[in-house]
Amino acid sequence: MRRHTPDAFDTAVQKGNIWLKDIEKAGKLRSRFQAYAVLRSVLHALRDCLPPAEAVKLSAQLPLLVKGVFFDGWKIPPKPARMTRAELDARIGHGLKEENGVEPARALKAVLAALHLHLSASVLETIEPVLPREVHAAVHAALAEICAEEAVAQAAASKDWQAADLGGPFGE
C-alpha cells in the first residue's frame, strides 16, 4: 500500500524551506539549522512583545510551518512584555545560545527581511506601533535598512540592464 502525504503538507514544507533559505541568505548564516534557530528566536521575542490580538493577526499571514514555530510554547500573557532594546537582544540571544557568532541585531534583521519579502507591508505597519518603544525603534530601523538595501540592489540591477542596452532595436 502506497502512502502519500497530503499536498498541504508538501506545500508547507516547501514554503518553510523557502523562508529558511531567505533568512539564511539575509543573515549570511552557515546553514538552515542556524536559520531555523534565528527564525524561532526572533519570532518568539516579537510575539512576546505583541498584544495577543496583534500576534494572532501577524500569524494569520505566516505559512503553516512558520506559524507553528511562532505559536510553539506560547502561553498567552495578560499583558505583552514591555522590553527595552537590551532585553529584546537578550531574549533573541537566549534563543541563539548554541549558535555562536550570530548577533541578535543580525538575527532580527534577517527575520524582518523575510517578513518584508513574504508579507504585505500593511501587516508590518500594523504591528510596529504596538511594539514597545525601543523594540519599535529597532524594528523600524532594521526595516528602513532593508528597504534601503533593496533600493540600492534595484538601482544596480537597472544600471546593469541599461549598460547592456546597446542603443537601437538591433543593437546599433
Domain residue ranges of the chain, discontinuous segments joined by + = 9-164
Query: What count of residues does the chain have?
Result: 172
* Block residue for cell numbers 541563539: 96
* 41 against 9, higher pLDDT: 41
- Looking at domain 9-164, what is its CATH homologous superfamily? Uncharacterized conserved protein DUF2267 (1.10.490.110)
Structure confidence at residue 162 (pLDDT) = 60
Contacts of 1 (CB under 8 A, 6+ apart): none
DSSP classification of residue 167: S
Which H or E run contains 130? none
Choose among 42, 16, 19: nearest CA to 103.
Answer: 42
The beta-strand segments (E) located in the chain are none
Average pLDDT of the segment spanning 48-53? 94
Structure confidence at residue 101 (pLDDT) = 84
pLDDT at 172 over 60: no
Question: 78-118 pLDDT, tens per residue?
Answer: 899 999 999 999 999 999 987 778 999 999 999 999 999 99
Question: 118-167 pLDDT, tens per residue?
Answer: 998 888 888 989 999 999 999 999 999 999 998 888 888 776 666 555 55
* 8 against 30, higher pLDDT: 30
pLDDT at 29 over 70: yes
CA distance 149 to 54: 28
CA distance 86 to 71: 23
Question: 74-83 pLDDT, tens per residue?
Answer: 999 889 999 9
C-beta neighbour count of 45 within 10 angstroms:
25
Angle at 9 between CA 34 and CA 46, to 5 degrees: 45
